[in-house]
Structure 1
Amino acid sequence: MSYYESKHSTTGSIYLWIQGHYGYANIMIGLFIAFWAKLFFKKYGFNLFEIVILLCFILGMTMLIYTVFAIAEGLTHTSVMVQASIVAMLYSVWAIGQFFDPNKITAYLKALSVYILGYLSFTVAVFIIGLLIDLIFMKN
């Protein structure tokens, strides 16, 4: 995730922090994904904490995927981070689908929805928090 802005804002500062602390940001993103997974896969009976542990493992593996691609990028001097993002997303969707129901294609479609909704809701939350902080401190 990269973010650039021409005017300083709290949202921009938060996104810059996310860029510099992606490990911590992954844990927060995992909470959002877990929320959606709990909603989409509620019939399987896993509690939120079990899903968070699953996502900590999956997101840790995606960090390893990014590491391998970063090493390849450093050695070859070609940009492969877009491909790394695709592989990481595919792995995450596959792993979530495998956890809940590996024999149903709908589990993988739900996993894709969960992943996308988790990232989108995290992004919206960051934007709203940054906007609210800016609005509160602009009035004072």
Structure 2
Amino acid sequence: MERICRNCGDSVTKNYCGNCGNNNEITRIDRKYALQECLNLINFDKGFLYTTKGLLLNPGTLIREYISENREKITKPITYLGLTSIIYTLIANYLKVENPYSEMSKKMYGKSSVNDIMIWIQDNYGYANLLMILPITLCTLVFFRKYKYNFYEIFIVISFVMGMGMLIFSIEPILNKLSADTFIFNEVIVVFFAFLYTGWAIGNFYGNKLKNYLKGFLAYVLGLIIFEVVVITSALIYDVIII
């Protein structure tokens, strides 16, 4: 039976319009519908899991696929980074463990804006992670300047890689909850694997060569150092102006 598409007015013989792709079967809005809409919004049921698996096993192939071939089945990089940062934040807040770095920061920086911002970064690493993308992207652009990729494409690479890194960092609050006495050891182990993965993933994107892995690791570390220097310098300037 031929019908008229509610969206574009073209004739429709099946559930989906052949002209605009609109679904002409309107279902009732209920709990099932609301849940499915949320999953569709972030493409969690297919794209998120597919993206996570690809980033874990072969990040270079997945990211190159997104940049040059197919962007439909892969979660968008900023969306992916945002979701993984939220996952980290939820886990860290739910499994809250006393952070010894608060006292260490007070002893090191005293009552200053530097202390306040360093504690904020430690307590809100998921959000701070979003601010670190720019310096890491710039460092990666410099280290791999001979390649054809522009700033925006490298920004995508770093967003994906750091998104996967957030899932790795999400393991730390779980370890701390299981064994709070080994807080420092837990962090060292998680940070080691996160840094190792990041260097490997960036290098894997540019090709399976040892020098690419080393440059990827250095670009990431240097970007983090630049971020911290900018943050501390800004806080010191703020204190001078206020005083």
Q: What range describes the TM-score normalised by the shorter chain of this pair?
A: 0.7 to 0.9
Larger Rg: 2
Correspondence 1:33 to 2:136: yes
Alignment-derived partner of residue 221 in structure 2? 116
Q: Secondary structure at the match of 2:106?
A: coil
**Equivalence for 1:53:** 156
Alignment of 1:61-140 (within 5 A): 61-76=164-179, 78-79=182-183, 80-102=186-208, 104-138=209-243
Percent identity over the alignment is 37
Q: List per-residue Cα deviations over 1:29-73 (Å, max 9, x = no partner).
A: 121111100111111121222212221211121111122343244
TM-score (norm 2): 0.52
**Greater relative contact order (Cα 8 A, min sep 6): structure 1 or 2?**
1
2:106 alignment partner in structure 1: 5
Instruction: State the AA in 1 paired with 2:190.
Output: A
Between structures 1 and 2, the one with greater helix share: 1
Quote the Cα distance in structure 2 between the aligned partners of 1:115 and 1:37: 7
Q: Show the counterpart of 2:8.
A: none
Provide the aligned length of Structure 1 versus Structure 2.
137
Q: RMSD of the alignment, in Å? A: 1.9
Moved beyond 3 Å, runs of 4+ = 75-79
Query: 1:5 and 1:53 mapped to 2: Cα distance?
Result: 36
How does the TM-score come out when normalised to structure 1? Answer: 0.87
CA distance in 2, matches of 1:107, 1:37: 11
Aligned to 2:45: none
2:121 pairs with 1:18 = yes
Gaps of 5+ in 2: 1-98
